[in-house]
Amino acid sequence: MKLGDFEVYPLLENVFHLDGGTMFGVVPKILWSRLVPADENNLITMHLNLLLVKTGDANVLIDAGLGDSLNDKMRKIYGQRGSSNLESELAKHGLKPDDIGDVVFTHLHADHCTGAIKLDADGEKVLRFPRAKHYVQKQEWEDATHPNERTAATYLTDNLIVLQETGTLETIDGDVEITKGIRVWKTGGHTPGHQAIIVESRGQILICPADIIPMSAHLKAPYIAGVDLNPLETMERKKEIIQRCVNDGWLLAFDHDLEVKICKLGKTEDKIEVKKIV
């Protein structure tokens, strides 16, 4: 789709499955399951939606998905049943991994970043995008490489360290413009260093809030994942984002929705309406 002078494309990197209660926290299953059905094991299906932004000067990838470097234990945890579509999705838009100049991570949970690493012919972990700089909040990097008992399962430090060893890691502090028309907003909430990505061209704006609003089912304020480290902060950021989308016409991208990748929000009385664009 066109966004001003930019081209923006959602990429379906993979499909995975997580416990429904994990994704909806304190909301009872009888409520959230009306929006997202669960299987007999209480697992819900989610997409790993990345964003490719072609600015004309740069090819920028927002998040990188799970990739193919997970061991069997981690693949089981994430319910990853298929191979990564990342390179084939890029090929649909005439690009190879070498063509990506910037990778911007919303945060460093495995389902958002390990696709930036792949295994070479000898089974060694190497960069998938060797010419790219990889951007993340400094606080997120510190938390991910020094996890505690609660966060250790969500960060794969052995994969992340490849970014540091290759010199392609760029840590940023706060709200920063990555390249012309693409900036980050440090939201916190899901993780202390979580950031939303804002893409703007010729007055048209799209926001990728990642796991602040992972699916259209999470538009209601209290529908917050149980893994969020600061759920009240998530709720406040969510309200701000929805307000900008409704009042200022920002487009909204969902990182885990099955049906809606990019949408426009409207409001009728107290109900948020979702108009699918892609």
Residue 140, pLDDT score: 98
Decide: helix, strand or coil at residue 77. helix
Is residue 265 very low, low, confident or very high in pLDDT (cuts 50, 70, 90)?
very high
Summarised one tens digit per residue, pLDDT across range 215-261 is: 999 999 999 999 999 999 999 999 999 999 999 999 999 999 999 99
Q: Which two tokens stand for residue 36?
A: 């997202």
Distance CA 68, CA 114 (A): 8
Residue 193, pLDDT score: 98
Quick one: the chain helix, strand, coil %, rounded to 5?
Answer: 25, 30, 45
In the chain, which ranges are E strands? 2-3, 6-19, 43-54, 59-62, 102-104, 117-119, 125-127, 133-137, 169-172, 176-179, 182-186, 195-201, 204-208, 251-253, 262-268, 271-276
Q: How is domain 2-276 classified at the CATH fold level?
A: Metallo-beta-lactamase; Chain A (3.60.15)
Query: Average pLDDT over the chain, rounded to whole?
Result: 96
Is residue 184 very low, low, confident or very high in pLDDT (cuts 50, 70, 90)?
very high
Distance CA 251, CA 276 (A): 10
Whether 250 contacts 197, CB under 8 Å? no
Whether 78 contacts 17, CB under 8 Å? yes
Summarised one tens digit per residue, pLDDT across range 125-174 is: 999 999 999 999 999 999 999 999 999 889 999 999 999 999 999 999 99
Report domain extents, the chain.
Answer: 2-276
Whether 47 contacts 257, CB under 8 Å? yes
Residue 82, pLDDT score: 85
Is residue 76 very low, low, confident or very high in pLDDT (cuts 50, 70, 90)?
confident
Strand 271-276 vs strand 262-268: parallel, antiparallel, or unpaired? antiparallel
Distance CA 61, CA 54 (A): 9
